[in-house]
Amino acid sequence: MTTNNEWLQRYSDSILGVFGTPPLVLSHGDGCYVWDVDGRRYLDLVGGIAVNALGHGHPAMVSAVSKQASEALHISNLFTSPGQVLLAERLLEISGAPAGSRVFFGNSGAEAIEASIKLARRTGRTGIVAAEHAFHGRTTGALALTHKAAYREPFEPLLPGVTHVPYDDTDALRDAVNETTSAVVLEPVQGEAGVIAPAVDFLREARDITRAAGALLIIDEIQTGIGRTGTWFGFQHAGIVPDAITLAKGLGGGVPIGAMVTFGPDVSALLTAGQHGTTFGGNPLAAAAGLAVLGAIEEEGLLDHAQRMGEHLESAVAAADIPHVTGVRGQGLLRAITLDGPISAAVATAARDAGFIINPVAPEAIRLAPPLVIQAEQLDALVSALPDIIQEATEE
């Protein structure tokens, strides 16, 4: 049998090194657990970075994808399929989109952002305002909205006209938005920044500011959407109606898919026939996966469950009073356990050795985005193990 280390050597010899060298070679999963090729089991508290909304091997996903694979995988966008239409209708329904709203399907979150940039350009304006520490993807258009210098600088000059303002700073946003602004693009919770949630009023103020300036408000729900924060979409916590949202990650439950939802007839009319396109977006397989995810979330009550499990984690961590842990932040099951020093990478390594997959998203924060089906006892297992994990991580 080829071992984990042997696979990793072959990985390094064959895969372009843009991701660095991964620590594990995973072979399969079941629910909230995954196994490496050496047969070791791990509790998956990252969920493919918020992608595996139903975990691994969920019966609804297996059934839907298997059935669709036996019928049709791809038909091109020269045609459509019942599944594509049904998924679009369902997204319009759960997002509360008004009459005249529409959906564009792509393959990824970055592709959804690219569509939103073109949507914004069709207003006739070129300025875009995004937030500091934002992450919107790594394609060149999306990269212009992403803030991290290490991601941007090797590829500059990027798309012109993008301004970054401090997140959750209403005054800075108001000062930056003017008659040249085509759109403001914001995440409801900044995941890559370390799971930073703004004040509820921030998105409401952003809505008022953009409306007054005649600019679009585009909410990036790529990580926060599809139940991750305890509502279908993160913007719903603020009670606003955006002009567009971008989706991906949890929507396909592991099958690649992205989407942009445009709200209302005026915004939906900005992109017309021939102005955008994609080869694979919304194909029958992706649509079947999306419908299975949305159906299971509704049937199993996973929105409320995500909210309860997130609160349970927060309470359990607080009660455990773990050295070097300062708290839990975030919404629903998009959470960060915060630390009193830059030890998250060492904690993630020690956690992996103990059988837990977590994400050191920032030097002083561990991101958790587990499958929405995770149970309290599984979260408790991490909390119980954290003192020993952190002790190992902080030993000299």
Residues 222 and 315 in one domain: no
pLDDT of residue 150: 95
Q: SS3 of 362, please?
A: strand
The length of the chain in residues reads 396
Residue 48, domain member (yes or no): no
Residues 258, 190: Cα–Cα separation, whole Å: 19
Q: Does residue 305 sit in helix, strand or coil?
A: helix
Residue 10 placed within a domain: no
Closest C-alpha among 75, 77, 103 to residue 89: 103
Q: pLDDT value at position 396?
A: 62
Within a domain: 44? no
Please indicate, yes or no, whether residues 294 and 319 belong to a single structural domain of this protein: no
- Catalogue the long-range contacts made by 360-366 (C-beta closer than 8 Å, 24 or more residues apart): 361/191, 361/192, 361/193, 361/194, 361/195, 361/336, 362/193, 362/194, 362/336, 364/194, 364/338, 364/339, 364/340, 365/194, 365/195, 365/336, 365/337, 365/338, 365/339, 366/336, 366/337, 366/339
Residues 308 and 190 in one domain: no
Query: Are 276 and 335 in a shared domain?
Result: no
Residue 388 lies in a domain: no
- Quote the number of domains for the chain: 2
Using DSSP bridges, classify how beta strands 102-106 and 325-331 pair: parallel, antiparallel or unpaired.
Answer: unpaired
Looking at 245, 280, 300, the residue that finishes a domain is: 300
Same domain, 108 and 206: yes
Residues 211, 254, single domain; the answer is: yes
Residues 314 and 294 in one domain: no
pLDDT tens column, 66-115: 999 999 999 999 999 999 999 999 999 999 999 999 999 999 999 999 99
Instruction: Say if residue 110 carries a ligand binding annotation.
Output: yes
Regarding whether 228 and 331 lie in a shared domain, the answer is no
Query: Does residue 151 fall inside a structural domain?
Result: yes
pLDDT, residue 300, reads 98
In the chain, what's the furthest Cα-to-Cα distance? 64
Instruction: Give the 3-state secondary structure of residue 335.
Output: strand
Could you tell me if residue 226 is inside a domain?
Answer: yes
221 is in an annotated binding site: yes
Digit-coded pLDDT (tens) for 297-314: 999 999 999 999 999 999
Same domain, 261 and 334: no
Provide the pLDDT for residue 1: 80
Instruction: Clarify whether residues 318 and 273 are in a common domain.
Output: no
Within-domain flag for 329: yes
Which parts of the chain sit beneath pLDDT 70? 396
Pair (178, 232) in one structural domain? yes
Distances (CA, A) of 65 to 32, 230, 287: 19, 25, 9
C-beta atoms surrounding 82 within 10 Å: 11
135 is in an annotated binding site: yes
Domain boundary among 339, 365, 386: 339
Residue 115 token pair: 């569509």
Sign of the four-CA dihedral 210, 216, 220, 221: positive
Q: What is the domain range of residue 309? A: 303-339
Residue 27 lies in a domain: no
356-357 and 41-44 beta bridge pairing: parallel
Same domain, 234 and 331: no
- How is residue 97 written in tokens? 């989109």
Residue 136 maps to which CATH number?
3.40.640.10
Tell me, what's the pLDDT at 290? 98
